[in-house]
Amino acid sequence: MLIGVPKEIKNHEYRVGLTPSSVRELVTNGHKVQVETQAGSGIGCEDEDYITAGAQMVDTAAEIFATSEMIVKVKEPQKVEYEQLSEDQLLFTYLHLAPDPDQTKGLVNSGATCIAYETITDANGGLPLLAPMSEVAGRMSIQVGAAVLQKANGGCGMLLGGVPGVLPAKVVVIGGGVVGTNAARMALGLGADVTILDKNLKRLAYLDDVFGPRLKTQYATVDATESLVYDADLVIGAVLVPGAAAPKLIKRSQLSSMKAGSVICDVAIDQGGCFETSKATTHADPTYIIDDVVHYCVANMPGAVARTSTFALNNATLPFTLALANKGWKRACAEDAHLMAGLNVQGGKVTYEAVARDLGYDFANPQNLIAA
């Protein structure tokens, strides 16, 4: 199979779909890989590294899209990218379709087969290709939240961990999954006063066992969430509904009751965000203020630590990339129900039920498509 890796074009996105070591694995398995020149320069992987691994370098993304059988990316394709896709191509990347009707329409119109990292599952019900980026984003949320709390950045001027004689900041994490767990770990490490909310009592018990009495846990009722958020200095939005739009847990009308200079970091923004006032921002212009509350809603947070993120992501994606290349998407999905869960769009049809429901498409069962 001819596999193509274009350079990412989203604002301040330096990650790359395949590292040189991943390219070598694919070449060793008998495949050809072409990489757009300078695609890996943002993480310190130069063209010579890819050539040594067996890749062919090409000058433009247009050549990648025109000739590749499978295209491996990191972020969802931008308009100029999905307009180049054709029905005989396979796209393997993050898609986050539920909050993005324009991209969904573009992929449907292309006829391409599109498999999303974020909806591939594992035997434990987890999301193994989302997990490494969730770990990164969860840890980053505390770093960026601490920075935004500084007065010069719009915050109230509070040091996250406090100092002797001065109380630490109150951090509230909404959602106890991978993002929330990693956010809590970082916040506790910096000495903050941390509370995590979740509706899963088993998950709360697990978090209590892992972190002990340093971490406060609270069952996520409307009352409890509202009370804690109103008193918080930093709120981390970490709620995920796989493949679907994130629920809006804090309404616009509630924002004025939050502390002036408090900070919201909405890690769920890739799926639309879990605050009603959330809108996607970029690393170039990451924050905005509504009712004296600073919002940080960067949609590709892990792109800021691109080297760590790329290698962590490739560790997770490589087995699936190899399966798709070695077997073709139909056989690979037929033999692996977890990979089949990643199939979001195929042949002009939406094949992920939550996306179809949220965006008003007819749902096409992927099992039927494969059988046909």
**What own/partner pairs with CB < 8 Å and gap ≥ 24 does 81-84 have?**
81/6, 81/9, 82/106, 82/107, 82/110, 83/110
In the set 31, 96, 100, 198, the catalytic residue is: 96
Contact 263, 173 (CB under 8 A): no
Q: If DSSP codes are grouped into helix, strand and coil, which group holds residue 246?
A: coil
Residues whose CB is less than 8 angstroms from the CB of residue 209 and which lie 6 or more positions away in sequence, other chains included? none
Concatenate the DSSP letters of all residues of 174-213 into one string: E--SHHHHHHHHHHHHTT-EEEEEES-HHHHHHHHHHHGG
**Would you give the end-to-end CA distance of the chain in angstroms?**
23
Cα separation of 118 and 178, whole Å? Answer: 13
Length of the chain: 372
In the set 100, 193, 266, 270, the catalytic residue is: 270
Q: Is 283 a catalytic residue?
A: no
Other residues' Cβ atoms within 10 Å of the Cβ of residue 337: 12
Cα separation of 206 and 32, whole Å? Answer: 45
Tokens of 106: 């573009």
Nearest to 215 by CA among 195, 241, 233: 195
Nearest to 142 by CA among 313, 282, 301, 312: 301
Tokens of 183: 């956010």
Tokens of 232: 């918080």
Give, in order, the Cα–Cα distances in Å from 70 to each of 79, 118, 329.
18, 18, 10
Q: Is 96 a catalytic residue?
A: yes
Contact 191, 170 (CB under 8 A): no
Contact 114, 287 (CB under 8 A): no
Looking up tokens 């970091």 gives 265
Tell me the catalytic residues. 96, 270
